[in-house]
Amino acid sequence: MNSQMDKYFEDIENNVNELYVIAGKSRAKGFDPDLAPEIPKAKNMAERVVGLISTVSPQIVNTPIPQRIQELEKQYGTLDWRVAFTIAEEIAKEKFCKFKDKKEAMEIGIRVGFAYITLGTVASPLEGFAGINIRKRADGKEYFALQYSGPIRSAGGTGASVSVLIADYIRKKFGYDKYDPNEKEVKRTSTELYDYHERITNLQYLPSVEEVEYMAQNIPVQIDGDPSEDIEVSNHKDLPRIETNRIRNGFCLVMGECLSQKAPKIWKQLSKWGKDFDMGEWDFIEEFLKIQKKAKSKGGDKKQETGITPNYTFIKDLVAGRPVLTHPLAVGGFRLRYGRARTTGYSASAIHPATTYITRKFIGLGTQLKLERPGKAASMTTCDTIDGPIVKLLDGSVVRVDTVAKAKEIVADVDQILFLGDILFNYGDFFNRAHPLVPAGYCEEIWVQELRQAGGKCENPLKVSAAEAISFSEQYNIPLHPRYTYYWKTFNTQEISSLIDSLDKGKESEGKLVIPLDETTKHVLEFAGVPHLVANKEFIVLGRSETTILKKIFCDKAKEVILDPINQEISALELINKFSPIKIMDKGGTFIGARMGRPEKAKMRKLAGSPHVLFPIGEEGGKLRSFQSALEKGKITSDFAAFKCSKCGKKTVFSICEDCGVKAERIHFCKICGELKKDECQHGPGRPYTNLEIDIKTLFGTLLKNMGLNVYPDLIKGVKGTSNKEHIAEHLSKGILRAMHEVNVNKDGTTRYDMTQLPITHFKPKEVGTDIEKLKSLGYLQDYKGKDLVDENQILELRPQDVILPACLDSPDEGADFVLERTAHFVDDMLQKLYGLDPYYKLDSKKDLVGHLVLALAPHTSAGIVGRIVGFSKTQGFFAHPMLHAATRRDCDGDEASVSLLLDCLINFSRRYLPSSRGSTQDAPLVLTYKLVPSEVDDMFFDIDRAFEYPLELYKAGEEYKQPWDIKIDQAINHLNTPEEYFGYGFTHDTDDINAGVRCSSYKTLPSMQEKLTEQMRLADQIRAVDASDVARLVIERHFLPDTKGNLRKFSQQQFRCVQCNEKYRRPPLIGKCIKCGGKILFTISEGSIVKYLEPAISLAEKYNLPSYLKQTLELTQRRVEGVFGKEKEKQVGLGKWF
């Protein structure tokens, strides 16, 4: 396997190098902002760090910094903070290269150390850490003020905290003094933090005032930042050493979510080696942790020694149209099952595919669920080897739904969902979240191990008949098989007694038991999950299996045991075990609260206006920003970077003259001197752009002629104006070709496809639509058991950089296969018609994309990772190895990532297209990783378990609420830096097809909010584990009321806009029409957007009889709306208008 893995990485590297050569030849033609590809390659993390920081400090390229980082890693260990401290110090002392001044040297040192801690994948070291200001203490000595901005968020709390430590270490090494905060500055810290939390957005962690002020008093460097909000702080303004009165988001994030929240992690490291690195001034963290502990324990009741309590956090931020599926710990909701399917782990979870249909198609493959535990959220996949739902039909029958076919057949007849079925969580997720293990309901995994321990054997524990189940239990003295174990725990003695009476009255016919329909008995059978039919509304008919089991459990001595007074107060389960000849286990275990979060996503990314090219169209482009509008007007007026042809002397907006095909020289501009041949004059640096009026008709005709085109698309769209600081425009020819192939451009010049991230470690050829011969050519010669690949149903272990992209026909958006095929055709046309080179992809069909390379990138990160397409699923998920997701610094809890064809990125990406605003380098591939190194990905990956079976100890530990680390299960961390780090991953639960289940959530297909809400409430009424009136209350309180009040407030502060030219006005012009073009003036906030939720809210309150206070609040809101818009005439509507 190792030799195969070596060849795999070698093939990828060779392919990457081949694409760099093609991109290099294309770029050398001079049509792009740079003459070479602008995404540097990085083989490992050290190279990635240097590649990332080189965007602001080119002099660190081709220095021995990567080698030095690797030397330090051998000394201290990979990702050790001391590596970052040391490399930052050596760079700041200019050991590798020279800098403009000492301040720049220190800043670049800090940036490199910070980039190392964040794996060289996020833009925080470039954008989040804005630099150092040197300020004066009260005694005149100098100290550090660190500048932070909003993009620091992407570093994570720990990473950002370490950047502060690195900066303080540099401060000490360069002899600067400690920060000396005064009382007002300390008070400003707590005031600003609380203002930000209450008036801007919730902080994940809001420290107490005591915590904040103690931190602010003792921190050796000042935390500062740019003013990011329009709102000023409520108190402690006009402080000499704080340059703004406005709220600073970077400052608030670092003080709250970073230093305060991550203080335990900081102290865990510094307490070990802080003194060796002269970090003694951070010893105050030890005292800070005591204050934090005291603050956290205030007001809260003491936690129970064992057990868990309902957690309502996930349900608080409820959104209309996205249903609640289980209230916290509610019986009948999702039942916890321990295990890992081929498509779960790394925060993703699985339910039975039938559950996706029974829940009215709201949960699709990839839909995010907000959860009660173990984490906050998870993306959903499906697994058919766990329990599906149990439902009650309109005729009263109770059915266990085991297949998708059955679910589709009965979904219209469902009256109540008694049990939603299992939700599969892997051990690694409990371990990573440090959540105590909780009891799992009795399941086949426990039963089969108990059978094995007793000396028995069962070929397929999922298919055991009732008679076999009894035989196994009697022969080996083990509990009854889980399939025939029902949910007995919630009943009382009287209910069990009533059931026994009914069973005694029953008559047996052909192995089935017919009993009279009695309310209590029916209730017990329903809520125990016992399948049965109802005949003629007067009889209950139990099937053969259920009859066999119930007759065995409720034996002759049952009545006698029940009548014993000593047994009146015990639970039904204990009671049954007193008389049953076979041991009955608790089927329920723990039920997990859940509601729908984000729907799944797979679509091409489009900028506002869906442009085809980053070429400014100015006002002439009209509402659609189209070149057709500009062609009618004959000109475009906008800001452009200008060039002058060295042959014909013509001024152009392209670096190659469109008439002569010769390189044009860049022109700069001075307000006094005019055009400059150099980039500066005696008045200072020249401006790199100017406002030009270009003859678009002539230019357009020339470009078509140059490409040999006679016809062009009906609609080609540009951008209103370029947002990069030099106003460099993309070559218009690319826009013409993109429009021909119907692909859109992103802010960096590439075409992106966004998808929900889902993990997968094993796949079947039939699931990804790739034929066996093609897979063999990609290196898949054997299945995961080592057998030669001959059948499309064999299970193959996925290689770490192979990806399975979405091709979902059920989605309203196009699949990745369509979009990437068209992008490949565009790239081939561009190579031929613009660059004069041979085409590369030459695709005949979508299947030909398999084997080609893509660049994967997650939002807020700046390091792309190479992936190889191995197939297409029928879902909307981006299926990739958890290792690749970890390399993008994202998990699979509802996050999304994008892919682009690698050659498209290498040719078309330019940093110089990126907007000049802060945060623009986030979500741009500033560096490319072409080989995954498991020890250099996000450390959450290390917790993934690799076992093919969980031991019985895990289930026993769950009964005792032990911590996950008390049980040893093989995890990825045990194999880092060994030959097995890339392969050998196990799964405990197989599934027939990863594409089974709903592939597009009904949330995306239901056209109106009214229909979404109706379906949400219908589902709330159906699910036994959901309190529908609580859902109605939350929908009104959390969504409808705030929206209605907020929109009403905005209505009175709104702008007005012209329907033709989009000009905006603070007040309508007195003339009554647009001053600029004479167009009609419109509201930007309409009456409809304010009143849209009022009627449904009032209807909900009436139907579910919500508290009077809420009804009165709605009435007052209605009066306010009527006060603005007048009272509507009453019109008669049917009772079923809303609910």
Over residues 48-100, the pLDDT tens digits come to 999 999 988 999 989 999 999 999 999 998 889 999 999 999 999 999 999 99
At position 237, the amino acid (one-letter code) is K
**Rounded CA gap, 1126 and 770, in Å?**
63
What is the reported pLDDT for 465? 92
**Rounded CA gap, 24 and 34, in Å?**
10
Number of domains in the chain: 6
Look up residue 961 and give its two tokens.
Answer: 């609420």
Domain end marker among 102, 121, 140:
121
Cα Rg of the chain (Å, integer): 33
What is the reported pLDDT for 123? 87
The residue range of the domain holding 500 is 486-587
Domain end marker among 237, 262, 293:
293
Question: What pTM does this model have?
Answer: 0.91
What is the reported pLDDT for 299? 47
For residue 518, tell me if it sits in a domain: yes
Helices 493-505 and 572-579, interaxial angle, to 10°? 50
Q: Is the pLDDT of residue 911 over 80?
A: yes
Sorting pLDDT into bands at 50, 70 and 90, what band is 300? very low
**Rounded CA gap, 321 and 360, in Å?**
12
Q: Spell out a b/e string for 1051-1080, using b for 16 or more CB atoms within 10 Å of the CB, else e.
A: beeeebbbeeeebeeeeeeeeeebeeeebe
CB 449 within 8 A of CB 398: no
Q: Is the pLDDT of residue 303 over 50?
A: no
- Mean pLDDT value of segment 286-292: 91
Could you tell me which residues are beta bridge partners of residue 134?
Answer: 144
For residue 694, tell me if it sits in a domain: yes
Nearest to 213 by CA among 266, 256, 274, 269: 256
Lowest-confidence pick of 174-183, 278-287, 564-573, 662-671: 564-573
Which of 227-236, 794-803, 1038-1047 is the most confident on average?
794-803
**Rounded CA gap, 966 and 386, in Å?**
26
**Rounded CA gap, 517 and 529, in Å?**
16
Q: Is the pLDDT of residue 659 over 60?
A: yes
Cα angle, residue 782 at apex, residues 781 and 783 outer, rounded to 5°: 140
What is the reported pLDDT for 580? 86
Nearest to 864 by CA among 834, 904, 807: 904
Same domain flag for 108 and 161: no
Could you tell me which residues are beta bridge partners of residue 379?
Answer: 368
Same domain flag for 182 and 66: no
Same domain flag for 106 and 148: no
Greatest Cα-to-Cα distance within the chain, rounded to the nearest angstrom: 110
What is the reported pLDDT for 555? 79
Same domain flag for 730 and 825: no
φ/ψ of residue 827, rounded to 5? -60, -45
**Rounded CA gap, 18 and 825, in Å?**
19
CB 511 within 8 A of CB 546: no
**What are the percentages of helix, strand and coil residues in the chain, rounded to 5?**
40, 15, 40
For residue 422, tell me if it sits in a domain: no
What is the reported pLDDT for 298? 61
Instruction: Residue 671: count other Cβ atoms within 10 Å of its Cβ.
Output: 8
Cα angle, residue 271 at apex, residues 269 and 273 outer, rounded to 5°: 70
Residue with tokens 């999702």: 334
Q: What is each CA distance from 651 to 787, 1074, 1080, in whole angstroms?
A: 67, 35, 39
Sorting pLDDT into bands at 50, 70 and 90, what band is 1136? low
Q: What is each CA distance from 940 to 46, 267, 347, 567, 592, in whole angstroms?
A: 20, 20, 10, 49, 23
φ/ψ of residue 873, rounded to 5? -90, 170
Same domain flag for 78 and 200: no
CB 256 within 8 A of CB 206: yes
pLDDT of 182-209, one tens digit each?
Answer: 999 999 999 999 999 988 888 888 899 9
pLDDT of 793-823, one tens digit each?
Answer: 999 999 999 999 999 999 999 999 999 999 9
Edge-to-edge, what's the strand order for the sheet holding 591-592? Answer: 324-326, 594-596, 368-371, 377-382, 349-351, 421-425, 334-338, 591-592
Start-to-end Cα distance in the chain: 60
Same domain flag for 132 and 114: no
Same domain flag for 94 and 205: no
Q: Is the pLDDT of residue 479 over 90?
A: yes
CA quadruple 560, 562, 565, 570: dihedral sign: positive
Q: What's the CATH code of the domain at 814?
A: 2.40.40.20
Same domain flag for 72 and 167: no
Look up residue 991 and give its two tokens.
Answer: 């599934």
Q: What percent of the chain has pLDDT over 70?
A: 98
Nearest to 719 by CA among 636, 822, 659: 636
For residue 21, tell me if it sits in a domain: no
Same domain flag for 757 and 690: no
User: What rounded mean pLDDT belongs to the chain?
Assistant: 90
**Rounded CA gap, 401 and 731, in Å?**
58
**Rounded CA gap, 513 and 510, in Å?**
8
Nearest to 369 by CA among 829, 1108, 1093, 894: 894
CB 738 within 8 A of CB 744: yes
Same domain flag for 901 and 803: yes
At position 638, the amino acid (one-letter code) is S
What is the reported pLDDT for 1132? 58
CB 427 within 8 A of CB 964: yes
pLDDT of 921-966, one tens digit each?
Answer: 888 999 999 999 998 888 899 999 999 999 999 999 999 999 999 9
Can you tell me whether residue 152 is helix, strand or coil?
A: helix
Nearest to 26 by CA among 17, 37, 18: 37
For residue 691, tell me if it sits in a domain: yes
DSSP code for 613 = S
Sorting pLDDT into bands at 50, 70 and 90, what band is 886? very high
Q: Is the pLDDT of residue 1043 over 90?
A: no
Lowest-confidence pick of 143-152, 183-192, 417-426, 671-680: 671-680
Same domain flag for 56 and 146: no
Same domain flag for 116 and 254: no
Give Cβ neighbours of residue 739 (< 8 Å, ≥ 6 apart): 612, 712, 713, 715, 716, 717
- Mean pLDDT value of segment 123-132: 90
For residue 722, tell me if it sits in a domain: yes
Q: How many CA atoms lie within 13 A of 453 on its CB side?
A: 13
Look up residue 952 and give its two tokens.
Answer: 């019985």
CB 466 within 8 A of CB 545: yes
Chain-centre distance for alpha carbon 1084: 32
Q: Is the pLDDT of residue 737 over 90?
A: yes
Q: What is each CA distance from 516 to 493, 521, 542, 547, 1002, in whole angstroms?
A: 20, 9, 11, 14, 40
For residue 613, tell me if it sits in a domain: no
Lowest-confidence pick of 271-280, 460-469, 671-680, 854-863: 671-680
Domain end marker among 894, 929, 964:
929
3-state secondary structure 14-35: HHHHHHHHHHHHHHCCCCCCCC
3-state secondary structure 1051-1068: HCCCCEEECCCCCEECCC
Sorting pLDDT into bands at 50, 70 and 90, what band is 305? very low
pLDDT of 660-684, one tens digit each?
Answer: 888 999 899 888 887 877 888 888 8
Q: Spell out a b/e string for 536-572, using b for 16 or more CB atoms within 10 Å of the CB, else e.
A: eeeebbbbebbbbbbebbbeeebeebbeeeeeeeeeb
In order, the DSSP letters of 260-299 are ITTHHHHHHHHHHHTGGGT-GGGTHHHHHHHHHHHHHHTT
Q: What percent of the chain has pLDDT over 90?
A: 65
Bigger pLDDT: 305 vs 264: 264
For residue 980, tell me if it sits in a domain: no
